[in-house]
């Protein structure tokens, strides 16, 4: 089976937490081959000079009607503990890793039946 995901660049859209603190910038989208946006890749500065590439499910990202800002109900600790990869690993995003990402944010992965629909 071919990989059901495609990586697309983004313009570095800031992502904020519920307290309006910038968490990082969304630098890439992970979409299904049919074009459904599933994850945003957040360039997250962990505070010690390292930047992690953290996939964040679009299911938890919202856009403010008032400000147009993207925000999610997550914090720095959650991001430090979330599944992540090195920049070079982004192209290897697959269903198994997507399941780990969803679980980290308390979401249920679509399951194999849904994945078959994506192929």
Backbone CA torsion sign across 106, 11, 32, 69? positive
pLDDT digits (tens, 9 = 90+) for 70-116: 999 998 888 989 999 866 667 778 888 889 999 999 888 764 434 44
User: Quick check: 98 and 38 in contact, CB under 8 A?
Assistant: yes
pLDDT digits (tens, 9 = 90+) for 5-56: 888 999 899 999 989 999 999 999 999 888 889 999 999 887 788 888 999 9
Q: In the chain, what are the domains?
A: 5-118 (2.30.30.240)
């Amino acid at each position: 089976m071919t990989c059901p995901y495609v990586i697309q660049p983004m313009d570095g859209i800031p992502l904020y937490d519920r307290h309006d603190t910038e968490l990082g910038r969304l630098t890439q989208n992970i979409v299904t081959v049919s074009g459904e946006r599933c994850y945003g890749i957040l360039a997250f500065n962990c505070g010690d000079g390292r930047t992690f590439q953290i996939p964040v499910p679009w299911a938890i990202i919202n856009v403010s009607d008032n400000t147009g800002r993207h925000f999610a109900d997550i914090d720095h600790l959650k991001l430090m503990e979330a599944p992540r990869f090195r920049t070079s690993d982004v192209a290897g995003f697959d269903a198994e890793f997507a399941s780990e990402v969803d679980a980290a944010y308390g979401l249920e992965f679509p399951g194999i039946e849904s994945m078959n629909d994506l192929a």
